[in-house]
Structure 1
Amino acid sequence: MAAVDVDGLERWLRLFASSVAEQQDTLTALDAAIGDADHGANMNRGMTAVVDALAATPADDPAALLKQTGMVLVRSVGGASGPLYGTFFLRMAPATGGASALEPEVFAKALRAGVEGVVSRGKAELGDKTMYDALAPAVDALDAALGAGDPLADALRAASAAADQGRDATIPLVARKGRASYLGDRSADHQDPGATSAALLIAAAAAAVAEQGPP
């Protein structure tokens, strides 16, 4: 089963940055309906800064790379997304245990630590219509697939499918957190922008590991 090293993590971040750039207008349109209409621009600015940092300050190990990514996002992304995505990567870093390459179970553990960081920072619960609605089912699906003996690439594909389902499930919800919660019932029938970018994050991880191929 393939382990995820620094090159694999960089591939994940670059793919996520590319997806965010491609979907910037979509993310902004979703946020315009229930938020401040800046999620696409904010995320694109942040991920552009992350990719720039990969070249300017190469990291020696996964923990250092994840910490650097988190700090760049906190500094460069406006609104709530910066602290939330920044915390995600900052919490992933120590969960790697200092390994030079993350075995599937360690990668899954680090992802869950990142999601727990999002919960700690944003105080969101499942059904609040936030990025957590995509991330929670993703890490649950990842753990279940790895527990069943699936290779990491297949497990991440299952996680990505679960994230997409979680994203879509936000459409009928009434927001209970964030800017969208100010709209009350009017926040229903809109897809959550944070859940949408979170689904892109998991999809990029799946694509990055699939590109890596078998060990």
Structure 2
Amino acid sequence: MPDDITAPKLADWIREFGHLVSVQRDRLNALDAAIGDADHGTNLDRGFRAVTAELDTIPQSDIATLLAHVGNTVVSSVGGAAGPLFGTFFILLGDAVGNDRHLNNERFALGLRAGLAGVVSRGRAEAGDKTMYDALAPAIDAIEATASAQRDLPDVLRAGLRAAESGRDATIAMLARKGRASYLGERSVGHLDPGATSAALLFTAATRTLI
């Protein structure tokens, strides 16, 4: 089952995401400085350093346990709004797939959809609000559609990445309607959203580690 996703592969996905966040920490802070508190990169980097430090101690036979641990560590270690949002995403992804030891494309898509629902429940975001939702939702839509078309895992994940990056870039023209950026009104237009930018990195990491 070469296309199946296992807990060790998911651990590699989390490690790579943490690495990308660390590499882009200053860029994420700069994006946040334009419309927020200038600490999005620092907060995420701190949280995922904590996650990465613990990954080797977590049993990697149970996907739900792995993702629950990741999510709870993110919630407790990442400051600002990003901690609860990213943390809930991983926890509910794990809850949705339960005790599965191998995820096919459809099961992974189902888990991602549950994670997105958690983000919506926490943040009350909708399309066009200029948040991480604007990268996550198109990516998951694309992953679901490509998986339903019985494409292989590389095609599924690359479709998700393309959609995430397009969604991220679309936030430049958006007026922020959520969070601190919404206080800027029209001045929020013309800036890339840092949350959508970091969310897109999830799919960059996936294409590097899950296939």
TM-score when scaled to structure 2? 0.97
Deviates more, 1:180-189 or 1:94-103: 94-103
* Alignment partners' CA distance in 1, 2:61 and 2:54: 13
Residue 33 of structure 2 corresponds to 32
After TM superposition, where is structure 1 displaced by more than 4 Å over at least 4 residues in a row? none
Q: What letter corresponds to residue 35 of structure 1 in structure 2?
A: G
* Alignment partners' CA distance in 1, 2:59 and 2:180: 36
Once the 2 structures are TM-superposed, how far is the Cα of residue 53 of structure 1 from its aligned partner? 1.2
Q: Aligned residues: percent identity?
A: 56
Once the 2 structures are TM-superposed, how far is the Cα of residue 33 of structure 1 from its aligned partner? 0.3
Deviates more, 1:197-206 or 1:160-169: 197-206
List per-residue Cα deviations over 1:45-93 (Å, max 9, x = no partner). Answer: 0110110110233343110000000000000000000000000011111
List per-residue Cα deviations over 1:15-58 (Å, max 9, x = no partner). Answer: 10110011001100000000000000000001101101102333
Gaps of 5+ in 2: none
- Whether 1:155 and 2:163 are equivalent positions in the alignment is no
Residue 171 of structure 1 corresponds to 172
Residue 101 of structure 2 corresponds to 100
Once the 2 structures are TM-superposed, how far is the Cα of residue 152 of structure 1 from its aligned partner? 1.3
* Alignment partners' CA distance in 1, 2:18 and 2:177: 28
Residue 190 of structure 2 corresponds to 189
Once the 2 structures are TM-superposed, how far is the Cα of residue 203 of structure 1 from its aligned partner? 1.4
* Alignment partners' CA distance in 2, 1:179 and 1:145: 35
Residue 147 of structure 2 corresponds to 146
Give RMSD over aligned pairs: 0.9
The alignment partner of 1:37 has SS state of: coil
Deviates more, 1:173-182 or 1:96-105: 96-105
Do 2:58 and 2:66's aligned partners in 1 also have CA atoms closer than 8 Å?
no
